[in-house]
Chains A and B, each alone.
Chain A
Amino acid sequence: DSGVTQTPKHLITATGQRVTLRCSPRSGDLSVYWYQQSLDQGLQFLIQYYNGEERAKGNILERFSAQQFPDLHSELNLSSLELGDSALYFCASSPIGDRDYEQYFGPGTRLTVT
Chain B
Amino acid sequence: SQQGEEDPQALSIQEGENATMNCSYKTSINNLQWYRQNSGRGLVHLILIRSNEREKHSGRLRVTLDTSKKSSSLLITASRAADTASYFCATGDNSGNTPLVFGKGTRLSVIA
Contacts and interface: CB of A to CB of B under 8 A. Distances in A.
Interface of A: 2, 4, 33, 35, 42-43, 45, 48, 55-56, 58, 88, 90, 92, 97, 99-100, 102-108, 110
Interface of B: 30-31, 33, 35, 40-45, 48, 50, 88, 92-93, 97-105
Contact of B42 (A48, A102, A108): A108
Identify whether the interface residues of A are mostly helix, strand, loop, or mixed: strand
Q: Is the interface of B mostly helix, strand, loop or mixed?
A: strand
13 contacts: A2-B42, A43-B43, A48-B99, A55-B99, A90-B42, A92-B42, A92-B43, A99-B30, A99-B98, A100-B31, A100-B92, A102-B33, A110-B40
B92 A99 contact: yes
A2 B41 contact: no
Contact of B100 (A103, A106, A108, A110): A103
A45 B100 contact: yes
Contacts of A35: 102
Contacts of A88: 40
